[in-house]
Amino acid sequence: MLRYCHQWLCLIFITLVFIPSANANSELAAQISQLESNHERLTRYIKHPAKVSGEQRLLNRLRVKQIVDEQALQMNELLNDEDALAALSPEQLDTIKDILEEQATASVDALIELDRHISDERASRTTDDSNKLLDWELQMAQLQQRLDAMLSFSMQNITWQDQVGLPTSSDRTLFTKGLIERADDISLLLVYSEQQLAELTAEKSEALESEQERLDTAIRAYKQKIDSNNSSLELTVKLLDQLGANTSKYKEVLIASTGSVTEDIFNINVVSRLLSRWSSKLWAGVLEYGPDLLFKLLLIVAILAAFSFAAKTARKLVLKATSNSKLNLSALLKDFFASIVHKIIMLFGILVALGQAGIEVGPLLAGFGMAGIVIGFALQGTLSNFASGLMILIYRPFDVNDMVKAGGVTGTVEKLSLVNATIKTIDNQRIIVPNNKIWEDVITNVTAERVRRVDLVFGIGYKDDIAKAEQVITSVVKAHEHVLKHPEPVIKLANLGESSVDFWVRPWVRTENYWDVYWDLTRQIKLKFDEEGINIPFPQRDVHIYHTHTSADEPEQLSEPK
């Protein structure tokens, strides 16, 4: 019985140990078999491509891409697994090495064939037709993509060879040399393409309408060429970095071409090359375009200076003409006309200067027109101020240096624009009032007339001599040097008040003397009343106290006479 148990335990041990190992070996064998199958198919498509065209050619390319992706996935899965790599038998490892060596040879052959194909296509380009040029660039972009994919596969194949212990130094050297030659060629093509694109863009800005379509197509073709070459150069630089080559000059070309800033900008070699390139371009541009730009700049400055002088002269002439005119224009309207003439001349000068600078004035004016409509809707309040400013200028309710009460403000008008008025108050504050607020409110022009009436009220007591008081007031008023004889002053007993008998004193004075007369007469009449014994009563009220019979607890009450 013990012997049978021992046999069963041995059988279970053998099953647990050797069956998983057998399964693992079976999986490895299946993977290697799949690698061999993919390799055979890939070699057939690469070394012996079918003579097909059209959609069948596209189908073959898609097949090659699919096989390459499958081969890369399976090879990475196998070689990156240390346990699986250690479990390979010598025969299986040799099989993988054979596959990698044959793939390396096939890749080199495919690269040579693609490079020859691209060279033939470049040599066969004989047309300058922009439409054919765009189609040709699209075909070249497809060839470049195939070549880039094969370069990536070749680099991956070298990495796999390192992992299985195959010597790769010679392959790396040759591959690096080929990549450097390719990077040099692409860099030259990029520089050339950018120059052509700049020339076409400049030509388009001055071309006739009939030439625009052709130039647009040519520009699209060169942009396609630049994009394709940028992608290829970016991949080539990446592969060269993996091989440890110096790629600073190619990175400088990439940054200058794409304009995108990467971590390579922190590389001192790349930065120095970029600065050198930009300084060279700047100096070349200064030498080529500097004299012309300097001449245009001087011409623009001269034009603006001439029109500025003409505008100032025209402003003075307009002011002089309106001042001598019999139309009796207000100072605000004169200044408005002069300002409009000045601005129109300056605007015309700016347009002439822009034309000399090469800027199309017609489209610019059209753009201003459209923008004016939009701005008009957005600035309705400002347009209301503008309209109110025009109404003020036309109807002239006040002028510069007039004292007005308008928009809730009292002061002297200093300036009026089409948007607002500047008013200085009596206490020397400067207030900006919108024109629509002035026009929509009551406007009082205090200094519009040359002559104003001073309104004063003097009260005397009921017991004072009315005739004497009237005589005193009359003498003081007529003695003042600024009181006008015509119209004659009005001095009348006008009111019998609660506390006084009131005289209304109404002398006429020149507007500029209003406050002097007001203050002088108030002071002098008060002094004269004191001298003549005439009282100026203050408000008073008599209070009478009546004693009534009330209880002791109730206080006395005050009552007013009715």
Cis peptide before 487 (omega within 30 of 0): yes
Domain boundaries, the chain: 2-278, 380-445, 451-532
d(CA 116, CA 113): 5
Identify the pLDDT of residue 423: 92
Identify the pLDDT of residue 22: 45
Query: CA angle 516-521-523, nearest 5°?
Result: 100
State mean pLDDT over 132-161: 82
pLDDT in tens, 258-268: 755 555 545 56
Is pLDDT at 189 greater than 90 in this prediction? Answer: no
Higher per-residue confidence, 456 vs 271: 456
pLDDT in tens, 289-347: 677 778 888 888 888 899 889 989 988 888 888 777 666 677 777 777 788 888 888 88
Same CATH topology for 380-445 and 451-532: the answer is: no
Is pLDDT at 225 greater than 70 in this prediction? Answer: yes
Tell me the CA distances in angstroms from 273 to 44, 251, 285, one per residue in order: 45, 9, 18
Higher per-residue confidence, 378 vs 311: 311
CATH code: domain 380-445 is 2.30.30.60
d(CA 368, CA 347): 13
d(CA 181, CA 410): 85
Q: What separation, in Å, do the N-terminal and C-terminal C-alpha atoms of the chain show?
A: 147
Residue 549 DSSP label: -
Calculate the average pLDDT of the chain. 78
Question: Which of 53-67, 315-329, 529-543 comes out lowest in average pLDDT?
Answer: 53-67
Higher per-residue confidence, 359 vs 278: 359
pTM over 0.85: no
Question: Which of 301-310, 360-369, 377-386, 529-538 comes out lowest in average pLDDT?
Answer: 360-369
> Residue 166: how many CA atoms within 13 Å on its side-chain side?
21
State mean pLDDT over 500-529: 94
* Beta carbons within 10 angstroms of residue 180's beta carbon: 17
Written as six digits, the tokens of 290 are 């500097």
What order do you get walking across the sheet with 403-406 strand by strand? 430-434, 420-425, 409-416, 403-406, 444-445
Is pLDDT at 25 greater than 90 in this prediction? Answer: no
d(CA 513, CA 208): 74
Identify the pLDDT of residue 259: 59
Place of tokens 């195939």: 146
State mean pLDDT over 443-470: 92
d(CA 437, CA 423): 13
Q: How confident is the model at residue 130 (pLDDT cuts 50, 70, 90)?
A: low
Q: How confident is the model at residue 19 (pLDDT cuts 50, 70, 90)?
A: very low
**Under a CB-based contact definition with an 8 Å cutoff, are residues 341 and 315 in contact?**
yes
Higher per-residue confidence, 166 vs 253: 166
Residue 485 DSSP label: S
Question: Which of 7-16, 107-116, 500-509 comes out lowest in average pLDDT?
Answer: 7-16
SS3 of 54-99: CHHHHHHHHHHHHHHHHHHHHHHHHHCCHHHHHHCCHHHHHHHHHH
d(CA 558, CA 500): 26
Range among 9-23, 43-57, 64-78, 278-292 rated most confident:
64-78
Q: How confident is the model at residue 18 (pLDDT cuts 50, 70, 90)?
A: very low
d(CA 532, CA 473): 11
Place of tokens 């991956």: 156
* Beta carbons within 10 angstroms of residue 484's beta carbon: 16
* Beta carbons within 10 angstroms of residue 23's beta carbon: 10
pLDDT in tens, 273-284: 556 655 666 666
Higher per-residue confidence, 294 vs 10: 294
Is pLDDT at 418 greater than 60 in this prediction? Answer: yes
Tell me the CA distances in angstroms from 26 to 89, 193, 233, 527, 538, one per residue in order: 12, 56, 43, 134, 128
Higher per-residue confidence, 330 vs 350: 350
pLDDT in tens, 546-557: 876 555 555 555
Query: Positive or negative CA dihedral for 104, 105, 109, 115?
Result: positive
**Inter-helix orientation angle 331-356/380-395, to 10°:** 130
CATH fold for the domain made of 451-532: Alpha-Beta Plaits (3.30.70)
Query: Positive or negative CA dihedral for 214, 215, 219, 220?
Result: negative
- Assign residue 557 a region (left: φ > 0; alpha: ψ between -120 and 50; beta: otherwise): beta
